[in-house]
A and B are shown apart, each in its own frame.
Chain A
Amino acid sequence: MSTTESKLMLALNAGETPRRPHALHAIAAFVWRSWRGTLKMLHYLAIDVLIFPVIFLLIFTYLFGGAISGGTGAYLQYLLPGMLVYTVTSMTVYIGIGIKNDIDRGVFNRFRTLPFWQPAAIIGTMLIQLLTYTSALITTILLGMALGFRPEAGIIGVLSGLIFVVLYAFCLSWLFAFIGVIAKKVESITSMTYIVLYPLLFTSNVFVDTSTMPDWLGPIIAWNPISLASTAARGLMHGSASFGDLASALAVMAVFALVFAPLTFRAYRRKGSQ
């Protein structure tokens, strides 16, 4: 009892109460938190980062490659950059699920009583996710190269393509962050993913050249963010990117970030305090 008492005194008198943390420090704290959390779930991570990309790339290259463009080698040249976009697109859902899980767990209440810049919780988590995306992308690229993928723009092409796709993932993440904050249940995030993502994916030019699709789909295909990103990634990796391709992809990405990031922050702050 008395030792507890003296320990308590010690703890109560130790250190001055600090000032409100700078937003960047708060983000750093959440990066640290996600990093520790990720380390404890390495086995799940391995599935997302190693196994899925490998399976998908193999399926599309060998099962569909022949049927779609008559030969796997040429098809891989076309497919791989789009495959990168596809890989991160399906992974951005996790950010929504992660945020929703935090909100549902008690720890959210603790965060909300601490005086830091609240959006740091989302940004920090997202930054660590980008690391996961990057790992999955590198897996896909390495396997692709082993299968015969040859980026015409060389190492610069690969790097610029990689950076571009990560940036794309970051921008798209805000859509799912927003869905994660407003969703009533975790399951509704997953089902929303199917509703939003799969139609977009299959009306995109990731797997096939869209010129064979019906005309009325034209505008949808043209402004489909997945198509725009794939075209830009392809252009960067093969050194054939036009200014227009890049500009329209970046514009759509910027719209995602600029619209959904503020919406996410607003919804997050309001969450629970209606």
Chain B
Amino acid sequence: MERIRYAIEARGIQKSFGGTEVLKGIDLQVERGTVYALLGPNGAGKTTLVHILSTLLRPDGGEARVFGLDVVQSSDAVRRHIGLTGQFAAVDESLSGRENLMLFSRLLGYRKRDAAARAEEWLDVFGLSDAAGKQAGTYSGGMRRRLDIAAAMLVKPELLFLDEPTTGLDPRSRNEVWDIVRLLTERGTTVLLTTQYLEEADRLSDRIAVIHEGVVIAEGTPAELKASVGSGTVRVQLARKEQRGDAAMAMRQVLGAAARQDADPAVLTAPALDPKLAARLLLELSQAGIEVEQFSLGQPSLDEVFLSLTGQKNEVLFESKEVQSS
């Protein structure tokens, strides 16, 4: 067991629901002791893949091993090594937080007294001791999520699945979850998480797989992924939106890439391969008399990663003649 290098090895995983192909042959290798992120938009197939890897769903094709154990043939053995925190909290809302953890501990095989002790310990780790007696149904999103992770941790899993662990959480709760993930990985737990946020994947994970329509379209370290998209995105907010035509031209000249429209007509974004170019752009804009209200250089958004990776045509703005006239 200890000799196995990969926590997860999956090859050609396929899954259809009623004729719709949701996973179209996914390959995945997650090294033991690392954090691996599955990044993808709604409906990409992240949850389906997590359910297959955590023995909740059978794949239609391909094979997956968790610590060398086949997820279909040896599902019971796999379950001893994994903890799952699903996209929707898997707790009994009519029971209190304490009762939930006691129930799950007993179902793991702890006797009543040990189960109670385990429940208290984990409530304490996740800062839920004060709310332990309250019904889980009355918990806030962040508390419920923490309770759910605590429940998954009772197994002391070597591999923890976290399906969108921070979706819907406020920044503080999100940071708490991130801290917990870091602590766990320092202790050697392997974590597979799914997320829609590049920032989250970037902060937490050693490697990322980008999933789109049931296919892995890119895989690598966060740095590799971002490099493939461009190091960052320049976002310019104009004081007067009438100047956006001129601003878009300047951006195209300096950055060598077309500016993209934002929901806000006064905002333009464009990829910047080099931070120095962004500095030059700012200079250029002020020399051209274009008033800038806000100027920022950030990471590419998930949108941009997708647009770039899926090779879809960027919504190019102000490239036609129309630009001059506006």
Contact = CB atoms under 8 A, between A and B. Distances in A.
A105 interface: yes
A111 B151 CA distance: 11
A7 B114 contact: no
A115 B79 contact: yes
B124 interface: yes
Interface in A99-141: 105-116
Contacts of B82: 113
Given A1-B179, A107-B91, A21 B107 contact: yes
Contact of A109 (B84, B135, B183): B84
A244 interface: no
B205 interface: no
B79 A106 contact: no
Interface string B76-102: 100110111010111111110001000
A111 B79 CA distance: 11
Contact of B183 (A8, A19, A37): A8
Interface residues of A, number: 41
A211 interface: no
A114 B104 contact: yes
B155 to A, nearest CB: 8
Interface residues of B, number: 47
B121 A11 contact: yes
A17 to B, nearest CB: 6
Interface string A17-44: 1111100011011001100110011000
A215 interface: no
Given A1-B179, A4-B179, A110-B91, A115 B76 contact: yes
B80 to A, nearest CB: 6
A273 B79 CA distance: 14
A187 interface: no
Interface of B: 54-58, 76, 79-80, 82-84, 86, 88-95, 99, 103-104, 106-111, 114, 117-118, 121-122, 124-125, 127, 135, 151, 153, 155-156, 179-180, 183-184, 187
Given A7-B124, A107-B93, 14 more contacts: A4-B180, A4-B183, A8-B183, A18-B110, A21-B106, A32-B103, A36-B95, A40-B94, A106-B86, A109-B86, A110-B86, A272-B57, A273-B55, A273-B58
